[in-house]
Amino acid sequence: MYTLYKLIILIILTGSFAVAQNIEFEKSNFPDKKDQLKEVRKSLDDGKEAFELGKKEYDFILEGYVNKNRYYPVSRKDYQRAGDIYFKQAQPLLMKAQDFNPNNADLNYMLGVINFNLNPQSDAASKYFEKAFSLNGKIPADAAYLAGWAFQFQLKWDEAIRYYQLYLNLLNVDAKENAIAIEDVNKKIGECKVGKTEMANPQRIFVDNLGPNINTSYPEYSAFISADESMMVLTARRENSTGGKLDEGDNWPFEDLYQTFKVNGKWTSAQNFGPLVNSVEHDATAGLSGDGTTMFIFKYKEKDGGDIYQSNLVGNSWTKPEHLNKNINSKWHESSVSLSYDAKRLYFISDREGNLGAGDMYYSDKDLKGEWGPAVNVGPLLNTKYGEEGVFIHPDGKTIYFSSKGHKTMGGYDVFKSVFENGKWSEPINLGYPLNGPDDDVFFVISGSGNHGYFASSKQGGYGDKDIYRITFLGPEKAPVTMNEDNLLASVAAPVSEFKAEKIVSSGPKMTILKGVVSDAKTHQLLEAAIELIDNTLNEVIATFKSNSTTGKYLVSLPSGKNYGIAVKKDGYLFHSENFDLKSSEEFQEVEKNIDLKQIEVGQSIVLRNIFFDFDKATIRSESANELDRLIKLLTDNATLKIELGSHTDSKGSDDYNQKLSQSRSQSVVTYLIGKGISTDRLVAKGYGETMPVATNDTEVGRQENRRTEFKILSK
């Protein structure tokens, strides 16, 4: 290890520090305290021994900078994991020596390292490092590096750059030998410059701790939410973990999965999923589908670095997690995943061979058999050689959020956003301060509305090691608010979580969330039913979902820019259809629609909402194919069914004209069905014109409701 001979010369030449006398723990320096000195030296020796064990673990982590000829920046969490136990043992022993002699350079260095490890955001570490520099003694060269890092965590960017530059000057003496370390320091100097810029232009957000129902003195992190923000799953390391054992590596309880629900605007107390989902070893949340019915779980296996499993919600119970196939899981490490709104594409993080960095983003598409296909790297525009983590694809289908140590970060992982437009991903944008900071900001997810985001952080003022926070994005038209760390982090006593975000028209998601409950129209029994999402323009079923077998609940995400058909089907019932024509400019909306399915009985009728005609004509448009196919299947499955096809118009135009138009349209549908093999004697065409309105004709919305095609069961 280098000593600071040359660096001390640089410090003296720059006049940055006043040099004082270093006092060693020698008898000659404490002639009147020999007995006390003996006791203190015993504490010093024992503390130094524990310190060296922790530092050895950290130095081993630093060697991970070079792997497959790539540079991996080490995060503070790696440092903490490596030395935490030993440093906690060393701290009280060394503090006893510090109380006796506060003017020893090496002792102040060790206390600086320990305090940086245990609480990097506090100013204790930087004070010890500065004290070590002020004493005329020998201390390891990494003191300047760690002092810079400590100031970086305190958001003191200029001081951090000054120390990093001192360390860089020393490294440049042997530039070829220190190439990797030089790259690391230059990157950290760049992070500080980004930090200065971001803090000078803070984002207008509130950051709220979710409070004691979610967060405890133990670590909580890796939270995922349903698109409507009604459900959350998270990872925690609590004393009641499944199996009740501690991980010998860090003496913390093993990871388990927990769930919580939003009831009357408040999150309920997070509950452990139990032994069917959790094992006695590490189990962590890795992703959640937008409808909250498919959960992905990370399970650690030493032989392969950890794999992804899937569990599904059936009624009120989650199924036993199943291992995803070899296209997703490899012999390397796979972590977070994110499922697209149509459940046909899975994004995930892997550090498999061929990566650009420590962890790259990949995606896999479902094949015709419903299996996940070959993994495809998303490419160098999003992936960097420094590694990515925490991928999340928004329910709008085109906005991706992820954490990266590359791109333009403020330190550790920062959260970035990119949008898929014109066939490619846009340049990633840092979400800025105070969401991002010099520590790891990772596993960020955002609600379907775009108003709220959730992420885990070790920010000061929390309940424990890591807490889960909610971010509220403010609209641009409000007057600026004071942006500093103290008032942006909601206090436990007075959280600002009730703040209602303004709608961000300029950057909000373009999509609709459709949700509700499926039930029997007569008995009101809650039903499990198949729900098809159809692209009417392409005449393709783009996704299939189910309502919950116990609650009847369903949730479907509809990105804007398409004409959608929704069909709800169950054996023994007439299908129910809806139409959503969402223009590309359509802003976010949440539509709650409860669906009552009608049993197949004489006299029952339904509206065929996805049958379309040319304007003022009886010509059936191609977008009607899927709806008509459903009707054909119903008639085929119920071979004796006889129905009336009735067409209705609004009140525009003359009575005679509307009557003739409606009759022609009904006959067009009957003719289509006959052409597909349905017997003529089972079909009756009837035009009603404007005689049976179901809504007012004074508005366009009402007139659109009145323009409809229905079928009614005449006999079984």
Beta carbons of 691 and 708 less than 8 angstroms apart = no
pLDDT band for position 584 (50/70/90)? confident
Q: Left (φ > 0), alpha (ψ -120 to 50) or beta: where does 450 sit?
A: left
Q: Which CATH class is domain 205-488?
A: mainly beta
Could you report the per-residue pLDDT of 692-711, keeping only the tens digit for each? 999 999 999 899 999 999 99
Q: At what angle do helices 157-171 and 142-153 cross, to 10 degrees?
A: 160
Chain segment 450-499, per-residue pLDDT in tens:
889 998 887 777 888 789 999 998 866 544 444 344 444 333 333 433 44
The position carrying tokens 């909000």 is 508
Domain 601-716 classification at class level:
alpha beta
- Predicted pLDDT at 8: 52
CA 177 to chain CA centroid, nearest Å: 40
Q: Is the pLDDT of residue 260 over 60?
A: yes
Tokens read off for 174: 């042997």
Domain boundaries, the chain: 5-200, 205-488, 510-599, 601-716
Is a pLDDT exceeding 80 seen at residue 73? no
- Provide the percentage of residues in the chain whose pLDDT is more than 90: 68
Each residue of 280-297: pLDDT tens digit?
989 999 999 999 999 999
87: pLDDT strictly greater than 80: yes
Q: Can you tell me the mean pLDDT for 62-81?
A: 46
Between CA 584 and CA 537 the distance in angstroms is 14
Mean pLDDT of 511-530: 95
Nearest by Cα to 234 from 191, 277, 171: 277
Cis-peptide, bond into residue 395, ω within 30° of zero:
no
pTM for this entry: 0.85
Are 675 and 607 a contacting pair, CB within 8 Å?
Answer: no
Rounded (10°) angle between helices 142-153 and 124-134 = 150
Q: Mean pLDDT highest for which of 176-185, 419-428, 504-513?
A: 419-428
**Burial of residue 620, with CB atoms counted within 10 A of its CB: 0-12 exposed, 13-18 middle, 19 or more buried:** buried
pLDDT at 107: 96
Question: CB of 370 within 8 A of CB of 397?
Answer: no
204-214 residue pLDDT tens:
888 889 999 99
Question: Would you state the CATH architecture of domain 5-200?
Answer: Alpha Horseshoe (1.25)
Across the chain, what does the average pLDDT equal? 87
Judge whether residue 641 has pLDDT over 90.
yes
Determine the pLDDT at residue 58: 66
Sheet with 467-473: strands ordered across: 205-209, 467-473, 452-457, 442-446
User: Is the CATH number 2.60.40.2190 carried by domain 510-599?
Assistant: yes
Tell me the pLDDT tens digit for each residue of 42-52: 999 999 999 99
Query: From CA 439, how far away is CA 75, in angstroms rounded?
Result: 8
**In this prediction, what percent of the chain has a pLDDT beyond 70?**
88
Please count the residues of the chain.
716
pLDDT at 504: 37
Structure tokens belonging to residue 455: 């992420």
